[in-house]
Amino acid sequence: MPTMTVSGHQYSLDSRSVEAALQGALPEPIQEHFVVINGRRWPPKQVLALVTGLDRADFTTHQARRALTRLGFPAGRAVRRRAHHPMPSEVTTPRPRAASETDSRPASSVEALRPFIGLWVAVRDDEVLVAAPSPKEIVAWLAQHRQRAQSVFRVLDSEQAITGAAPQ
Q: Does the pLDDT of residue 158 top 80, yes or no?
A: no
What is the CB neighbour count within 10 angstroms for residue 98? 6
Per-residue CA distances from 5 to 96, 118, 127 (Å): 24, 38, 33
> What's the burial of 45, exposed, middle or buried (CB within 10 Å: 0-12/13-18/19+)?
buried
**pLDDT of 2-41, one tens digit each?**
788 888 888 888 999 999 999 989 999 998 999 999 888 9
Mean pLDDT of the chain: 79
pLDDT top residue among 150 and 89: 150
Contact 10, 3 (CB under 8 A): yes
**Gyration radius of the chain over CA positions:** 17
- Summarize pLDDT for 90-120 with one digit per residue, the tens: 333 333 333 333 444 445 677 778 888 888 9
